[in-house]
Structure 1
Amino acid sequence: MSTVTVDIAPLAETGAPAPVFLTVEEAARCLRVGRTTCFALIRAGELESLMVGGLRRVPADAPAAYLARRRAEQRAA
């Protein structure tokens, strides 16, 4: 199984470490979908997220994992 990468470099400031978490809006931009679609993926359990305090956050590697699962599903079909 190949590894899929999603470029989150534009989300991080130059010289700053890569983010550990993304906002839902940042995750949506990574996946090139809208905010509402991203929340729907989270509600359906297809995109991993968690609450940090009162804020919904998406682990930085979750968009790539979602994409890898979708590609594997399509290949199997």
Structure 2
Amino acid sequence: MSVADTARYLSIGRTSTFALVRAGTLKSFTIGRKRLILVGSIEAFIADRCAAEHPEADNDSL
């Protein structure tokens, strides 16, 4: 998924998305000049955030 698409999906800005990539939170690769973010990495990020904010919730039900 592109950086712009990821930013829209997460409802954050492109700068914040690039910061997550630089920090290693979101895994990415480049093809030519285009940086793409692995969908599995986005899903893992969301799951980690949900677990951190709602530790009592069963993550399988989210």
Give the TM-score taking structure 2 as reference length: 0.73
Consecutive unaligned residues of structure 2, counting only runs of 5 or more, are 57-62
2:24 aligned partner? 45
Identity %: 38
| RMSD over aligned Cα atoms | 1.7
Secondary structure at the aligned position of 1:61 is classed as: helix
Deviations 1:13-61 (A, max 9, x none): xxxxxxxxx1100001110100000000111111111122332101223
Runs of 4+ in structure 1 over 3 Å off:
none
Once the two structures are TM-superposed, the CA of residue 70 in structure 1 deviates from its matched residue by 1.3
The answer to which structure has the higher helix fraction is: 2
2:36 aligned partner? 57
Once the two structures are TM-superposed, the CA of residue 71 in structure 1 deviates from its matched residue by 1.4
Give the whole-Å Cα distance in 2 for the aligned partners of 1:61 and 1:29.
16
Larger RCO (CA within 8 A; separation ≥ 6): 1
Give the TM-score taking structure 1 as reference length: 0.61
